[in-house]
Structure 1
């Protein structure tokens, strides 16, 4: 196991990486469904923190495995077997999501997370044995990850009141491990490969939003049949998701990552908010279509903000994480910031006009952002 070249031409995601991503489809679907149920039952505030916590576990496990693979994907038998171990951890984590939301019991989630990390530690130890040039960095990665995993296990013994605070501390340690380990030499991750991997994960999360919205449509049709508002929400929701996909891929990051590798941490870490907001949007769309079909124990204003906040957050973060990396950003603050503010104002209309017009309005704002962005970069 030796490092792959940072300038390897035509570097693309492998079939194993695509299979690996499928396990995250299951996990994201679980947490998006739980968030939607919490919003629909009028407990949005109660499920938000568990959602962000479990989503971090899913996202961070994917991130660390992805960046490792970008540097050391040998695709031989030991590598494939250890990847399968990590996939088993993802599925274990996904199985524990309902219990985590319903009872606040994160034991299964933590166990799945630890299984994933055991597989990754084994990968780094193999690097330390077989790649002398990267041994110091590999040992720091393996040691740092292992120590933090002990912390996650010990956290289960703390009183309930320390849950959020201890989680925040351990997250800080998790995020610090790559920065600390890279002081002995940065792994040779491939910028174009990383950009493609993040783009593929964006599509996965958008796919979960499509699935969540479809689930909501099925529930609404079974209860009250088709209606004009349901059709409007469904079509405008599709336009909205397509527009967000379009916006994300308007801003290519590969060349920027290659030229400014030292800013890759900011770009990579910032995607937590991008991915979490897209998954939350799927939950919001599911609630919106259910709300149009029958009465829910939640106000139209809450449903409106369940849609507007994720979209506004996505728009702002899309600009913020690319601005320090891309030499000439395509997404401009003069366009994106007013659009985000307008989206956040949309829920104020739901009490008078309903949820349907709000979804249409948010979709039109995003379409307008695309049009202005394309027009601003057009050359005579």
Structure 2
């Protein structure tokens, strides 16, 4: 019997960006699963808003998802460069895990008529502030990237102070504008830091791509779980109907098609040079749309069982189309950046438009949401089939 000794502290002098067979660690997978708890909380709150026709619930959802996504992205990128696997690194990761659980606990309060951001901000501060001492360690252990590390540490510290100050701002337009301003400031930190000198943090391209891919799969799995729970509750009360069957079949086609579309090409080629900003930032919309899709499908189930107030079949179907469209456009932008060509966006834009046509046709023909969701799923499946046909190898003989 053998055991693995974990060193207490190793120098943060950077991983090899060309390391072969770099893969996600068990700690990173635990990290992802913990963050999905917060994603589920945000999606559940959005679902509650949509089923009552409160479309303004998209605003707090976008805010909450930004906090979740940004904390996840920054840790993942840092770990790709400096994960030593030592005790200190593990403990810092556990602190961030605690922060995301605190944030998840505060999510429902943000969706109240009188939103309360205090718990969410505390959770967010825990996640972000935990990286400050790690960047200071990098500044000490890696002289070559010291200016970058110090800029990260300073930038994170200043912006977190501003998040606390924002708690005193009034709700409404002022609150939204202040949030957007600080979100932009957060996203500017990596650009400001990484462009301070010619050196760069040694993140691993293949590892980063795998991290984003796995998190996308986990969030897609959350969509399946949320929809299944909603369907199960409906079956208990009303049994299986043609309308519900359409939602089930369409939802399944959507999840499987979105998975297929995500992995239809190598993402490594979409990170030109070592500039990962477009790749990383576009995933805010991609991952957020997946979470929103779960809320939209659950709302469609509510419409089927006549348990939704303030939203009808057409509006519910359009919510599904909107979520799928954002996903397609976000993924298309990543591919277009990799190709250095806007022509790559032609397909995603066309498919996105067809999902809205499908939503209108379905409810126009039956006045039920099931056919619309099914048709949207067929459109997404058609995109997969088209991709396969276009790229099938030529045969002779």
Asked if residue 290 in structure 1 is aligned to residue 302 in structure 2, the reply is: yes
Q: Deviations over 1:146-175 (max 9, x none)?
A: 100000000001222420010011011001
Q: Deviations over 1:255-293 (max 9, x none)?
A: 342x5223x101111111101111100001111122112
Equivalence for 1:238: 252
Q: Displacement, 1:122?
A: 1.7
Where structure 2 has 5 or more consecutive residues not aligned to the other structure, the ranges are 1-11
Separation in 2 of the partners of 1:356 and 1:213? 14
8 Å contact kept, 1:93–1:109: yes
Asked if residue 77 in structure 1 is aligned to residue 87 in structure 2, the reply is: yes
Equivalence for 1:43: 54
Equivalence for 1:136: 147
Equivalence for 2:380: 366
Structure 2 counterpart SS, 1:3: coil
Separation in 2 of the partners of 1:252 and 1:327? 15
Equivalence for 2:98: 88
- The aligned runs of 1:1-380 (5 Å cut-off) are 1-44=12-55, 46-102=56-112, 103-161=114-172, 162-183=174-195, 184=197, 185-257=199-271, 259-262=272-275, 264-297=276-309, 298-326=311-339, 332-349=344-361, 350-353=363-366, 354-380=368-394
Q: Displacement, 1:101?
A: 0.9
Q: Deviations over 1:46-94 (max 9, x none)?
A: 2110000000000000000010001001010100000100110000000
8 Å contact kept, 2:209–2:267: yes
Q: Displacement, 1:222?
A: 2.7
Number of paired residues? 376
Structure 2 counterpart SS, 1:252: coil
TM-score, structure 2 as length reference: 0.91
8 Å contact kept, 2:60–2:110: yes
8 Å contact kept, 1:280–1:310: yes
Stretch moving more, 316-325 or 363-372: 316-325
Structure 2 counterpart SS, 1:74: coil
8 Å contact kept, 1:192–1:255: no
Where structure 1 has 5 or more consecutive residues not aligned to the other structure, the ranges are none
Separation in 2 of the partners of 1:334 and 1:305? 21
Structure number with the higher helix fraction is 1
8 Å contact kept, 2:335–2:344: no
